[in-house]
Structure 1
Amino acid sequence: MSNIEDIVDSLEHKISKVLLKVDHLKQANLKLTEDLALARQEIQAQERLNMDWEEKYKALKIANSMLGSDDNKKETKLKINALIRDIDHCIAQLSD
């Protein structure tokens, strides 16, 4: 009889260890999930910041080309020609 009780006690002890490990794993999983969500938010913020800087860079590049910097003479001429075509198109539409 005591042999069966020992087996039952051993099983109860093992089950309690397993349940404790499950609780620890659930807590670790929750922490990792929260860390992942935070990391994703940081990545999105960095991507938005990167896009903002890219837009500012493009605007600065266009401004420099409009000012006629020596580095971008060809781009400046092309941009001015495009603007003249746009203005001519607008004038033609107003004339109709």
Structure 2
Amino acid sequence: MNQSESNFIKLEQKLHQLLVAYKDIKKEKSSLKEEIEALKQGLKESRIETVRLKDENDRLKVANAMLGENEHRRLMKLRVNRLIKELDVCMAQIKNTKG
């Protein structure tokens, strides 16, 4: 075997190694993409759950305030005041549309 044949065989072996490495990298990339999608879905579900829990927490605070707990009495007063202001705005809008 001459030098050029030996070089060609070495080149072929290295090319084969590169192809194997390329296939491994493609598999890893695909696996990472799937993991990213799963993590995105998990994050989305966590955010939805967080919003749901915050809403539930707010409702529980209001319920506790209605039951008369001193801790939540201020919250209830603020909420009632806000609702009264909203009613005042609605009534003013109704008066403006009639007149």
Relative to the length of structure 2, the TM-score reads 0.76
Give the Cα separation in 1 of the matches to 2:82 and 2:91.
14
Give the Cα separation in 2 of the matches to 1:53 and 1:35.
26
> Cα offset for 1:75?
2.8
User: 1:66 matched to which residue of 2?
Assistant: 66
Give the Cα separation in 1 of the matches to 2:6 and 2:33.
40
The structure-2 alpha-carbon separation of the partners of 1:9 and 1:48, relative to structure 1 and needing over 3 Å to count, comes to same
User: 1:54 matched to which residue of 2?
Assistant: 54
User: Quick check: 2:65–2:73 contact (8 Å CA) kept in 1?
Assistant: yes
Unpaired stretches in structure 2, ≥5 consecutive residues: none
Instruction: State the identity as a percent.
Output: 26
User: Quick check: 2:65–2:72 contact (8 Å CA) kept in 1?
Assistant: yes
Which range moves more in the overlay, 71-80 or 29-38? 71-80
The structure-2 alpha-carbon separation of the partners of 1:5 and 1:87, relative to structure 1 and needing over 3 Å to count, comes to closer
RMSD over aligned Cα, in angstroms? Answer: 2.5
How many pairs were matched up?
Answer: 95
TM-superposition CA deviations, 1:4-34 (whole Å, max 9, x none)? 1111111111111111100111101111111
Unpaired stretches in structure 1, ≥5 consecutive residues: none
User: 2:4 matched to which residue of 1?
Assistant: 4
> Cα offset for 1:81?
4.6
Secondary structure of the 1:38 match is helix
